[in-house]
A and B are shown apart, each in its own frame.
Chain A
């Protein structure tokens, strides 16, 4: 997928003005977000599970070379092939090579954000092959030539009428009003593909180092089809997906699924270990695991950002994020939206391309609060902002950032002296009074306008730091309650 991460401001402005997108986004909160809260409170020891999840994933990431080595041995022991791909191009070429060697041209796929990241469909099409997305949301996206809006519900920005139009236009289907009929139509269409395809491509939610098992979490059953029907199954996985032992799956499945959809368990969890054994009734004759770096080792090498590799891709941080909930997934311009996307996208696509993204956050902490493995996203967003503001490697942006950098510097100097800080705060409040109408600041001047162009900035009644000595609790309470 071609990054459009440079256009966050334009993208988000048009999303904000789009009523349909705003309506669909409201559903995210009432749907996934509250379901997650219900499911996590129904889970005994949820907080200690999160802590444990964080600990185990951190351990794996700190020893990733060891665990990947073990994993590869285990997959080979189970009769599978392992391919280590440096980048998207490497990985796609491997898939193409396997398919063409066996004369396969129809490829069925279950949902994989990595495949979107790699642009695998475009590549397969360029080679004259037919890749078919089989997750309903991804199928809709593929027919529309669109990109995913949310990592769990890729087509959630489309209304039933739009899907119906799409099915009529692209599949020659009758006009259906009903979501159930639309789903049945997709079932009919895709059944034929499942029965005929020579290759199935899946993602992976977890890779178990000890046994070489790929664990897949799905609800529709397409993941089971893709891993059972065709002669060849290829699983593609980001290198960070490893867990040490199959016993760790119990905990990680709870953390992932309950945070993603709020189900106690998804309809299906499928564990694949190599190709079918000779005495088994069915299943693929060949199994390949493609382990992909594609910029992840860059994240790994940066101690400040390494923590983002703990991500289970559950989507909870998006559903919780006040910015995502207003601007939606397309504004972020790449495969991974929301708070975690604002961190990994600039790193995977190149920092200067994603320079707006680390600013697409209010740093309110809702993402960290929601994250099943307690990833400290606000910390990393701040770090990235600092890199972008101070870094010398992005000269084309330096002039625009200079004023902001100066402002931060000025604050630093003044914060070092109490009296000076009080004076600055006073000056700032007086300055605000000139700009604001009725207690809200509607426009900030010059380089600060990016902070206010799309939202009203509440005017500080009392400087934040002066509330603490007074023991003013209001400063500690979330905004809604004030």
Chain B
């Protein structure tokens, strides 16, 4: 008997049966709804996200502030680029790293950092074809470890909790929003979901469609701890200062 079977048969025994049931237990009380309606529900969410974009954006700005983000609202990507430069100058930054999300590339297109003396480095493998992925990872990690700020886009934002959701993929590192002491997140109009429920509905739909990813981060304000005498300190292992720039 395999180690897995032995384990499961002990569980079955504790529950008073011989082996695990082969079919799903009757009517699982899913908190939101059964899997066969998932595509429809996901479509409703996407639609609502677009229709209520303005309201959701306004709520997000408000809630994110109380969750510890520094929130700024700008009309377009170009203005976002200028805002990023201001943040970097305030920090007296020397090196910034960024994930080449489309919105970040748009914000940096007009080259706002030209002549500022601040270096900006894209974190993505394969930009230099002569470099092996292994070497590329090492080089980028070393850069991120000394960078003064990390700039990213987001996949979604959540109005209920003031959260940015980042799903790492090609061109989106797990570490740009983690290793540098300051994180700047650009959120576009139309990316805000009302609550956690809608996020997980969309993720479940992605999963059902076979679009899986190994990782997802929900980021709500700065890294913090209250482990010594309940005193809140930010910037323990992740960024102690976080900026959310709402674009559009």
A, B co-complexed: yes
Residues of A within 8 A of B (CB): 24, 27, 31, 52, 55-56, 59, 62-66, 68-69, 72, 78, 82-86, 134-137, 140, 153-156, 158-160, 163, 179-180, 182-184, 186-187, 190-191, 194-195, 210-211, 219-222, 224-225, 227-229, 239, 244-251, 253-254, 261, 263-277, 279-283, 287, 291, 293, 297-298, 300-301
Interface pair A281/B173, CB less than 8 Å apart: yes
Distance A78 CA – B169 CA, assembled complex (angstroms):
15
Hey, what's the 0/1 contact readout for B203-214 against A, CB within 8 Å counting as 1?
A: 110010000111
Partner of A52 from the list B31, B137, B172, B236 (CB cut-off 8 Å) is B31
Interface pair A281/B161, CB less than 8 Å apart: no
Residues of B within 8 A of A (CB): 3-4, 6-15, 17, 19-21, 24-25, 28-33, 35, 63, 67, 123-125, 137, 140-141, 145, 160-163, 168-175, 178, 195-197, 199-201, 203-204, 207, 212-231, 233, 235-239
Interface pair B220/A179, CB less than 8 Å apart: no
Per DSSP, chain B at the interface is loop
Interface pair B217/A270, CB less than 8 Å apart: yes
Distance in Å: Cβ of B43 to nearest Cβ of chain A = 15
Distance in Å: Cβ of B33 to nearest Cβ of chain A = 8
Task: Give the residues in chain B near A211, CB-CB below 8 Å.
Answer: 204, 207, 212
Partner of A272 from the list B19, B31, B214 (CB cut-off 8 Å) is B214
Give the residue name and chain of the B residue nearest to A269 (CB): B218
Q: Given the interface contacts A246-B203, A272-B214, does A279 sit within 8 Å of B170 by beta carbon?
A: yes
Q: Given the interface contacts A153-B227, A225-B178, A280-B214, does A250 sit within 8 Å of B238 by beta carbon?
A: no
Question: 3 tightest CB-CB pairs across the interface, nearest first?
Answer: A221-B238, A84-B7, A65-B20
Interface pair B236/A248, CB less than 8 Å apart: no
Distance in Å: Cβ of B40 to nearest Cβ of chain A = 14
Interface pair B226/A153, CB less than 8 Å apart: yes
Q: A221-B239, A264-B220, A281-B125 are in contact. List 18 more A-B contacts (CB 8 A).
A: A27-B230, A63-B21, A68-B8, A84-B4, A84-B7, A140-B227, A183-B235, A211-B212, A220-B223, A244-B30, A265-B196, A265-B218, A267-B238, A273-B215, A275-B214, A281-B140, A281-B173, A283-B174
Distance in Å: Cβ of A84 to nearest Cβ of chain B = 4
Instruction: Sample 19 A-B pairs with CB under 8 A, ordered by A number.
Output: A59-B25, A65-B21, A68-B11, A82-B4, A86-B6, A134-B237, A140-B228, A179-B228, A194-B237, A210-B35, A210-B207, A246-B203, A247-B30, A270-B215, A276-B215, A277-B212, A281-B123, A283-B174, A297-B10
